Amino acid sequence: MQRKYYLLAPGPVPVPPKVLAAMSEPIIHHRAPAFVKVLEEVRGGLKFLFQTKNEVLVLASSGTGAMEGAVTNTLCKGDTSLVVRAGKFGERWAEICEAYGVKPICIDVPWGHAVDPKLIAQELEKNPSIRAVFIQASETSTGVMHPIREVAEIVKKYENTLLVVDAISGIGVFDLPVDKWGLDVVVSGSQKAFMLPPGLAFVTLSDKAMSFVEKSDIPKYYFNYKKEIKKLVKDNETNFTPAVSLIMGLRESLNMIKEDGLEKVFKRHTRLADATRAAAKALGLELYAPDSPSNAVTAIKAPAGIDGQKIVKILRDKHNITIAGGQSEAKGKIFRIAHMGYLDAYDIIMVVSALEMTLKELGVSVEMGQGVKAAAEILEKEM
For the chain, residues classed under CATH 3.40.640.10 are 17-259
pLDDT in tens, 160-177: 999 999 999 999 999 999
Nearest Cα neighbor of 79 from 181, 273, 212 is: 212
Number of Cα atoms under 13 Å in the Cβ half of residue 61: 19
Question: Residue 135 pairs with which residues in a beta bridge?
Answer: 165
Quote the CA–CA distance of 383 and 379 in Å, as a whole number. 6
3-state secondary structure of 23: helix
pLDDT in tens, 236-287: 999 999 999 999 999 999 999 999 999 999 999 999 999 999 999 999 999 9
Query: Does domain 17-259 match CATH 3.40.50.620?
Result: no
Quote the CA–CA distance of 216 and 101 in Å, as a whole number. 12
Q: What is the reported pLDDT for 156? A: 96
CATH topology for 6-12+261-382 is Aspartate Aminotransferase, domain 1 (3.90.1150)
Q: What is the reported pLDDT for 2? A: 76
pLDDT in tens, 96-131: 999 999 999 999 999 999 999 999 999 999 999 999
pLDDT in tens, 24-61: 999 999 999 999 999 999 999 999 999 999 999 999 99
Quote the CA–CA distance of 148 and 171 in Å, as a whole number. 12
Nearest Cα neighbor of 137 from 107, 106, 177 is: 177
pTM above 0.85? yes
Do 295 and 145 form a contact (C-beta atoms < 8 A)?
Answer: yes
For the chain, residues classed under CATH 3.90.1150.10 are 6-12+261-382
pLDDT over threshold 80, residue 299: yes
